[in-house]
Amino acid sequence: MNAISKDLPAPGSAGSTLQALNQWVVDVAALTRPDAIHWCDGSDAENAALVAKMEADGTLVRLNEQTHPQSWLHRSHPDDVARVEHLTLVCTPEREDAGPNNHWMAPAQAHAKIDALFDGCMRGRTMYVIPYCMGPIDSPLSRCGVEVTDSPYVVANMRIMTRMGAPALARIEREGSFVKGLHSIGELDPERRFIMHFPEELTIKSYGSGYGGNALLGKKCHALRIASHQARSEGWLAEHMLILGLEDPQGKTHYIAAAFPSACGKTNLAMLIPPEGYREAGWKIWTIGDDICWMRPGADGRLYAINPEAGFFGVAPGTSRKSNPNALASIQSHTIFTNVGVTADNQPWWEGIGDDRQPVTDWRGEPYDAAKGPAAHPNSRFTVSAKRCPSYSDKAEDAQGVPISAIVFGGRRASLVPLVFEARDWTHGVLVGAAMGSETTAAATGAVGVMRRDPMAMKPFCGYNFADYFAHWLSFDQPGAQLPKVFHVNWFRKGDDGKFLWPGFGDNLRVLEWMIRRVDGSAEGVETPIGVLPQAGEIDLEGVALAPGARDMLLGFDREGWRAEFEALGAYLAEYGPRMPEALRAEQQRIAEQLQG
């Protein structure tokens, strides 16, 4: 097809039967002026041809076919290795609707600014049209989009991360609506880079980056920033949460959704392997998703969740047989690695992989020299189908979603916050989510123990004002609602010696078991102003090597410390001004008063 032709493609050939979609693609082509347009069908043959093209031009490097069959390495531009929050904008007509939690630009100004960058940017390139579905293709909870890009690497990743191609296009044509995503790698110039979101237009425009969440527009851009806006207007929740199934020895499975900020073990928990004693007793963990959760009230008043993604886009460094054996097993074949090191026999390598092999080439493609930095970029990634995970559950394809028994919030707190506590009710649970955060380290900020709030782990991803977001959460507490219990966990409490008190990893199942016992009423707990803590003996600690006094610190309640915490929380909520729901302010004040007693 001629890129600047005004003629629409014939239905049934390249293109769509949906006039609005065809016209948008023609308009984008007129702006970007590609040499050719390719409508992606998601087929094996199409993928093989794209991979061959990328191997030929060096975009992908095939890895050791004996150890990692059908796997490739991609190296990003050194200035294009992570999300760029300061260049990520939410463009609503009113600044206040975006809120202080987002960078804002007026829509007309934003369109003009980024369209000037898109002008002619695809000359000499092919424009790929990617119809995709976020969630099971036949689920009423799923939502569709179309990403237009000039990056075949993006096509290959979107094929893994979404339900992409002909089935998605058929659903878009049936429904007549879709999220529009326009992307170009541009010149990969950090000074000419923006990721713009127009929630009220269901539109995303991303220019100047080929990396991850900046370029795979189905991921954070659609599934969180745009979807959070859709969810608010349609009565559901789009959240930065894992979803796991916890099956007990009697064969009953409870589903848990959990939100943690980065570096707090979300993927590890989603793929957790139970401790040996629990495995022998018949406990199992099933992985539904490791990053994003869409929840909607069902006819029975419970929240039902889907994972809108079809794959994992995981951080490679630190992934090992010790930390996450299921993740490591998932990425032994049919995986795209981005910005990892390579060994002499062409296997992928990263810091913390936990074996005796050594890298010879770093993530830039240069000879590895430890003095010049790590072999793998700290934010290096793997992209792989979720179905390759040993703990993958076929319930991930359930069109109605899975019923959520518990919602878990958690952060990295070296002190004060106990291993686990339960919120008193839904309003208290929303406050617990709004208050969550992590303490920084000296290596990251130059100051140890600085608390950085990250409500519901959504600070970089909520597509509108956090105060309105909290109000939306509160709105689910309706007559007849059977809402999940809400918990908070902290795997990262430290002792006076600076060492972690809790072993973490598989032993986290012991905490999940207590949550489920609270859900079914078989654990009593202890009431405190901050919530319900486990009674002595309610968490099975058999075989857990805890330091002297660790249990009391892990499950203790420091009234004086919590007074200061709630005073700081009150100041944080006040930052959002009059939009902050009065119910949340009242809940903070209620607990603050109890803490004075």
Determine if residue 412 is labeled as part of a ligand binding site: yes
CB 129 within 8 A of CB 146: yes
Determine if residue 508 is labeled as part of a ligand binding site: yes
Determine if residue 123 is labeled as part of a ligand binding site: no
Determine if residue 184 is labeled as part of a ligand binding site: no
Residue in the structure block whose two tokens are 């022998």: 280
Determine if residue 267 is labeled as part of a ligand binding site: yes
Sign of CA dihedral 151, 153, 154, 155: positive
How far is residue 377's CA from residue 517's CA, in Å, rounded to a whole number? Answer: 41
How far is residue 330's CA from residue 312's CA, in Å, rounded to a whole number? Answer: 9
Name the token pair of 383. Answer: 């992209």
Is 264 one of the catalytic residues?
A: yes
Name the E strands within 75-125. Answer: 88-90, 103-104
DSSP state of 99: -
Determine if residue 465 is labeled as part of a ligand binding site: no
CB 258 within 8 A of CB 407: yes
Pairing relationship of beta strands 402-410 and 253-259 according to DSSP bridges? parallel
State the SS3 of 43-63: CHHHHHHHHHHHHHHCCCEEC
Determine if residue 71 is labeled as part of a ligand binding site: no
* 56: β partners: none
Name the token pair of 437. Answer: 């955060």
Determine if residue 421 is labeled as part of a ligand binding site: no
How far is residue 382's CA from residue 262's CA, in Å, rounded to a whole number? Answer: 16
Determine if residue 265 is labeled as part of a ligand binding site: yes
Distances (CA, A) of 146 to 51, 222, 246, 398: 21, 10, 35, 23
Determine if residue 429 is labeled as part of a ligand binding site: no
Determine if residue 67 is labeled as part of a ligand binding site: no
Determine if residue 334 is labeled as part of a ligand binding site: no
Determine if residue 346 is labeled as part of a ligand binding site: no
Determine if residue 220 is labeled as part of a ligand binding site: yes
Determine if residue 77 is labeled as part of a ligand binding site: no
Determine if residue 296 is labeled as part of a ligand binding site: no
If 0-12 CB within 10 Å is exposed, 13-18 middle and 19+ buried, where does residue 369 land?
exposed
For the chain, percent helix, then strand, then coil, each to nearest 5?
A: 35, 20, 45
Determine if residue 405 is labeled as part of a ligand binding site: no
The DSSP line for 184-217 is E-TT--TTS-EEEEEGGGTEEEEES--SHHHH-T
Determine if residue 372 is labeled as part of a ligand binding site: no
CB 463 within 8 A of CB 199: yes
Catalytic residue (choose from 144, 264, 293, 462): 264
Q: Which helix (H) or strand (E) holds 444?
A: helix 442-445
Please give the annotated binding residues for GTP, written as ranges.
Answer: 263-268, 381, 412, 505-508
Please give the annotated binding residues, written as ranges.
Answer: 83, 211-213, 220, 240, 262-268, 291, 379-381, 412, 505-508
Task: Give me the active site residues, please.
Answer: 264
Please give the annotated binding residues for Mn(2+), written as ranges.
Answer: 220, 240, 291
Please give the annotated binding residues for substrate, written as ranges.
Answer: 83, 211-213, 262, 379-381
